[in-house]
Copies of this chain bind each other. A is one copy, B any other.
Amino acid sequence: MARWEPRAAERLQKAALELYLERGFEAVTASEIAARAGLARRTFFRYFADKREVLFAGSGQLAEALSDAVASADPALSPLNACLAAGESVGARLAEWSADAARRRQVIEASPELQERERSKMAQLTTAAVEGLARRGVDAERAQLVAEIAILIFHTAFARWIDGAGKVAFEDCYREATVELRAAVA
């Protein structure tokens, strides 16, 4: 099966996360990441469009999952509640999988450039939610607003869950954030 050492992309991600942790994002070179992964600089840019993307692999699949979850949520739910339900289930799955979440977050928090990219990924999730809402027949303007609110909750909950260092369940963070939203708006 494997012609060369397998899982090149995975190795690059691992190497990048390590180096970013050791020296900070800006002080790390694409060549260095590639070298640690046993690959050439040119190969790095085949797998990832730039130095930031290497930390956000798989976010496209997350967006797709969210879109589907929104579209297929209980038809009786309001647009916002459909998004919130979808966000909770998708986020819960994500929370199981990622043991690197805290280290990733640590790296991102130390770099404005990476924060910028993370916001783009959140925007991508918003777009996915909008798309899911469209499949429910929600009109575009309203969908945009609703999706933004839902992703705000999602992001808030995720951040708090990571800060909780495994002592709190993601779903609890999520519901707490939802309650706070409703209280703040009321």
Give the interface of A toward B (CB within 8 A).
78-80, 112, 115-117, 119-120, 123, 141-142, 144-146, 148-149, 152, 156, 160, 177, 180-182, 184-186
Contact = CB atoms under 8 A, between A and B. Distances in A.
Contact of A123 (B78, B119, B185): B119
15 contacts: A79-B184, A80-B184, A80-B185, A112-B120, A142-B184, A145-B152, A145-B156, A145-B180, A145-B181, A145-B184, A149-B152, A149-B181, A182-B185, A185-B185, A185-B186
Given A116-B117, A149-B152, A142 B180 contact: yes
Nearest to A176: B141
A53 to B, nearest CB: 12
Contacts of A181: 145, 149, 185
Contacts of A160: 141
In this complex, which of A149, A160, A185 has the most chain B Cβ atoms within 10 angstroms of its Cβ? Answer: A185
A156 B141 CA distance: 9
